[in-house]
Amino acid sequence: MKHLLSMKNLQINEIETLLERALEFQQGAVSTLKNNFSIANLFFEPSTRTKMSFEMAERKLGLHVLPFDASTSSTIKGETLSDTVKTLEAIGVDAVVIRHKQDGYYNELLSGINLAIINGGDGSGQHPTQSLLDLYTIKEEFGKFKNLHITMVGDISHSRVAKSNAEALTKLGAHVTFLCPPQWQGDFASTSSWDEILPTTDVVMLLRVQHERHDSEMSFSKEQYHEEFGLTRERYEQLKQSAIIMHPAPFNRDVEIASELVESEKSRIFRQMHNGVYIRMAVLETVLKERK
């Protein structure tokens, strides 16, 4: 694996290998990488989890992490993303993690560069490491994917997490359904109501309402959204005993999820964040191993 750009590019055996390696890291394995690789995290959109979790993973692997701040970089003076990446390669950086608002930004970077690119989220496109940590969390809970019922709820069309996970979970044999307002359905067919999914679903995957990617007429009031599509206490009580709740976060309390449920018994939201460090260690090690 030279780069990690999209879940579309990952075969089932590659996903399984990454999940197994993440588990080894969680159980205390030490990386076999030589400690002389340099990496930079290029975040052109806000992030807490992905950026900090990559930094934690990089430090645990003993990598040299070069600080990069988009707001004080020469991109402000008009330098293109491609020229920024080529500049980092020229000064000796081995890999970059990039988050950018443009869907598929990486397509224009791939020719003429040698360093590895790990996609930390492209617009409404893909978020492969979030998907991998979600898969890891589901496997940790159920030990399998086949025939699990996964329901994604919310802003599907703007969600790179939904697209990455729908791709991967279907490939792995899970049944994926969607519940969302018609204007946020995109290419996915939505079920009509919570009542249809509550008795059978194993995983409720809540998605953030992405106001920053909406036209104003697309939006709901917080109360309206919560009433129709939010996970309320009443809905929570109708879930199967074994069901779990996930959310990639950041979450909007009392919009996608009732505030009191964020750390409820079925919630794995902070567990997802914890697992993300081991997944990112596995991804970084795999990509950097290709460089020798």
For ligand CP, the binding residues (CB under 6 A) are 47-50, 121, 130, 248-250
Nearer CB in complex with ligand CP: 41/201: 41
Q: Find out whether 164 and 131 touch, Cβ atoms under 8 Å.
A: yes
Smallest separation (angstroms) from ligand CP to the CB of 49: 4
Question: Residue 125: phi, psi to the nearest 5?
Answer: -90, -85
Torsion over CA of 196, 200, 201 and 202, rounded to 10 degrees? 170
Asked if the peptide bond before residue 128 counts as cis, ω within 30 degrees of 0, the response is: no
Smallest separation (angstroms) from ligand CP to the CB of 121: 6
Give catalytic status of residue 271 as yes or no. Answer: no
Catalytic residue, chosen from 3, 21, 84, 99, is: 99
Alpha-carbon distance of 59 to 35, in angstroms, equals: 10
Catalytic residue, chosen from 3, 21, 100, 127, is: 127
Alpha-carbon distance of 99 to 46, in angstroms, equals: 9
Q: Give residue 106's Cα distance to chain centre.
A: 16
Catalytic residue, chosen from 32, 77, 146, 292, is: 77
Nearer CB in complex with ligand CP: 118/249: 249
256, two tokens: 């996608």
Alpha-carbon distance of 134 to 137, in angstroms, equals: 5
Give catalytic status of residue 127 as yes or no. Answer: yes
Alpha-carbon distance of 250 to 49, in angstroms, equals: 8
Which of 96, 162, 85 minimizes the C-alpha distance to 125?
Answer: 162
Give catalytic status of residue 86 as yes or no. Answer: no
Nearer CB in complex with ligand CP: 198/252: 252
Give catalytic status of residue 59 as yes or no. Answer: no
Catalytic residue, chosen from 3, 21, 50, 247, is: 50
Nearer CB in complex with ligand CP: 22/198: 22
Give catalytic status of residue 77 as yes or no. Answer: yes
Nearer CB in complex with ligand CP: 49/171: 49
Q: Give residue 269's Cα distance to chain centre.
A: 12
Nearer CB in complex with ligand CP: 230/248: 248
Q: What is the DSSP letter of 192?
A: S
Q: Find out whether 33 and 62 touch, Cβ atoms under 8 Å.
A: yes
Smallest separation (angstroms) from ligand CP to the CB of 119: 11
Smallest separation (angstroms) from ligand CP to the CB of 192: 28
Which of 99, 143, 144, 139 minimizes the C-alpha distance to 122?
Answer: 99
Smallest separation (angstroms) from ligand CP to the CB of 237: 27
Alpha-carbon distance of 174 to 182, in angstroms, equals: 23
Catalytic residue, chosen from 17, 49, 75, 222, is: 49
Alpha-carbon distance of 165 to 38, in angstroms, equals: 29
Smallest separation (angstroms) from ligand CP to the CB of 189: 25
Catalytic residues: 49-50, 77, 99, 127
